[in-house]
Homo-oligomer: A and B are copies of this chain.
Amino acid sequence: MTTAGSPLVGSSGRGRVGRRRARNRERLVSAAAELMAEAGVEGVTVSAITERADLGAGTFYNYFQSRDGIVDAVVAGAVETLGQRLDALTQGMADAAEIYSSSLRHLMRTAVTDPLWGRLVVRLGIAHDQLIATLGPRARRDLLIGVDSGRFQVPDVDIATAITFGALLSAIHAHLGSDQASDPSGVFAESLLRMVGIPAEEATEITQRPLPPLPSLEEARVILGGDAEG
């Protein structure tokens, strides 16, 4: 699970104790992320987290006040940082269809290349407040760019946002339950481009273009300026 954990640890100068604390916190977050992907939020207990992280049972509360606190940290590490990298990638793009397509393809591809990440977001589910608070506004923003530029025809932006979010999680779930041989990123984005009014042939062409790689979190923060520092 490369997307969780490490982004939460800053690289500012720290003593030995500070580095150990950062390492312990990262181990707890990684352990919680694994457990959440396996059993969902409900199945994760503080004792299971410390056991998986191979830390003393009481250590947990040196870093987090509650189970909810570490769940928030996992989601932040796994989804919010990806959101910032997508923000940086699409910031320089002019065409709403390319923005929407690139984001959807990268989100789906992340689930393909990092199934633990995919299982995590599926287990969190469409009703998880922090997940929808992280991805929902970005989907809505990208849809509005298309509507405002006249590129998209969307009967209701809120419904289209909800569809985008639910479609992503459900398509990830279907992919993880399949033989997983193929990468569904392109046809997934193609279906949603058609939904927002891009003609079928053009939707195919856009979603088959070379996909620019995601910037790292550090590159993203440079591109986005200081705004993205959490």
Q: Report which A residues bind B (CB closer than 8 A).
A: 40, 42-43, 122-123, 125-127, 153-156, 158-163, 165-171, 173-174, 178, 184, 187-188, 190-192, 194-197, 200, 204
Q: Which of B126, B194, B196 is within 8 Å of A170, CB to CB?
A: B126
Q: Find the residue from A165, A166, A188 having the highest chain B CB count within 10 A.
A: A166
Q: What are the residues of chain B within 8 A of A170 when measuring CB–CB?
A: 126, 162-163, 165-167, 169
- A112–B188 Cα gap in the complex (Å)? 28
A162-B170, A166-B168, A171-B166 as given contacts; A191 in contact with B155, CB under 8 Å:
yes
- From B42, B125, B174, B200, A162 is in contact (CB under 8 Å) with B174
Q: List 15 A-B contacts (CB under 8 A).
A: A126-B170, A155-B187, A155-B190, A158-B174, A159-B171, A159-B184, A159-B191, A162-B173, A163-B167, A163-B171, A163-B191, A166-B167, A166-B168, A167-B170, A194-B196
With beta carbons under 8 angstroms apart, the residue of B159, B168, B190, B197 that contacts A174 is: B159
For A168, list chain B residues within 8 Å (CB).
166
If over half of A's interface residues share one DSSP class (helix, strand or loop), that class is named, otherwise mixed; here it is helix
Give the most central of A159, A173, A178: most B CB within 10 Å. A159
Interchain CA distance A125-B184 in the complex, whole Å? 21
Residues on B with beta carbons closer than 8 Å to the beta carbon of A194: 194-197
Given A166-B126, A167-B167, A169-B166, A174 and B161 touching (CB < 8 A)? yes
Given A126-B126, A197-B194, A200-B197, A162-B171 contact (CB < 8 Å): yes
Whether A173 contacts B40 in the complex (CB less than 8 A), given A158-B178, A162-B167, A163-B191, comes out as no
